[in-house]
Structure 1
Amino acid sequence: MANIKPVRPDIDAAAARLGGVVFGSKREIAKLPEVLWEGEAVHMLATGNYGGGLGLLAMTDHRLIFLKHGFMSQQIEDFPYSKVSSVQWNGGIVQGTLTVYASGNRAEIKQIPKADGKALADRLRMHIAQGSTPAATAPASAVGGQPTAPVQDIASRLATLDQLYAAGAVSDAEYQDRRTKILDSL
């Protein structure tokens, strides 16, 4: 992840898998933690063009997010897995288009690098095929409207943390601190 300041272990790991294709996405990667719900983990990132602007696609444990953070305008759109009914991938030689059908709407995200787009589409299909209930895929609302992680998500967050720790992306102290915070959220 050349020339990108470390943001957060899960985001850094996902950005590293972009294979250096981060042109035009550094600002979005840095701003991504501001858009995430508490306890939400990023699994994959990709670049793409949506709504007239090049931005960042972030696949988390709860939703797919498109984030564009320009000097003059910002755009955030999310697609909770419980609302996604279908996904279509059309790949070309180098890039392709991911079409997401959610809540009766159709979103076409273009110019996604082929390998990243195919992986995103496959993972989205997996979420759809699992037929997850909204409680298993989207945060429950807490008092005051703040999202909280469902109990099922605790195991997923702990597994992600264990993977980051095993990969050396998290220090011993960070591991213990984050593990304690995850368990305290029960």
Structure 2
Amino acid sequence: MVEFSVRPDIDAAAGKLASSFGAKREIESLPEVLAEGETVELLAAGLYGKGNGLLVMTDRRLVFYFRGRFGQKVEDFPYGRISSVQWTAGMLMGTLTVFTSGNRAEIRQVPKDQGKALADQLRQRVARTGEPPADVPDAGSARDVASRLRTLDELRAADAITDEEHRDRRARILDSL
């Protein structure tokens, strides 16, 4: 394992890599592609297109970064645009597939341990990004409540529950909002 002295967040993420083979240049120049205040959470090496580079999970986005001798490639995937993440593992390596608004990016040859950890954390991040704020009920929730109230009314009309049970259950449903 190689020690880096780039920045504390980058050094910590790089320290978790079993090997930085094929990504040393990218790790050392990573601050060039990050926005001010953006912090690195996880790193993984991988092959995307024709370049062997670095997958970077930050607090804002997922980035694939390749720095060659004559140029560089940076492709970023903001969390709000990622619709799903797929991880397929082989014996030692795997493939991380990121789906975004009709597009699909396959990052191959990702070491199994790094890829699984990144895929799991990325799924959690994407799930949190898609959640509505806690204090605002979403439309699905409102439809669910309306459906439950309709069912409750039908049960009362069919004499399956008493008026008192109807009032109690209705109050509980409305309190859940």
Instruction: Confirm or deny a common fold (TM above 0.5).
Output: yes
- Segments of 4+ moved more than 6 angstroms: none
Separation of aligned partners in 1, 2:59 and 2:26: 18
Aligned partner of 1:12 in structure 2 is 11
Separation of aligned partners in 1, 2:129 and 2:76: 19
Change (3 A) 1:121 1:5: closer
CA deviations on 1:73-128 (whole Å, 9 max, x unpaired) are 31100000000001000000100000000122100000000010001111111012
Q: Which of 90, 93, 105 lines up with 2:91 in the alignment?
A: 93
Q: How many aligned positions are there?
A: 133
The AA in structure 1 aligned to 2:122 is L
- Answer 1 or 2: higher relative contact order, Cα 8 Å, separation at least 6: 1
User: Is 1:41 matched up with 2:39?
Assistant: yes
Change (3 A) 1:123 1:94: same
Greater radius of gyration (CA): 2
Residues 79 and 129 in structure 2, CA contact (< 8 A), matched pair in contact too = no
Using the size of structure 2 for normalisation, the TM-score is 0.71
Separation of aligned partners in 2, 1:39 and 1:11: 13
Aligned partner of 1:113 in structure 2 is 111
User: Is 1:84 matched up with 2:61?
Assistant: no
The AA in structure 2 aligned to 1:67 is Y
Query: How far 1:48 sits from its partner (Å)?
Result: 0.1
Change (3 A) 1:86 1:7: same
Using the size of structure 1 for normalisation, the TM-score is 0.68
- Which residues of structure 1 form unaligned runs of 5+? 135-186
% identity of equivalent residues: 60
Residues 86 and 125 in structure 1, CA contact (< 8 A), matched pair in contact too = yes
Residues 63 and 77 in structure 2, CA contact (< 8 A), matched pair in contact too = yes
SS in 2 for 1:36: coil
Separation of aligned partners in 2, 1:90 and 1:47: 15
Aligned partner of 1:124 in structure 2 is 122
Separation of aligned partners in 1, 2:129 and 2:75: 22
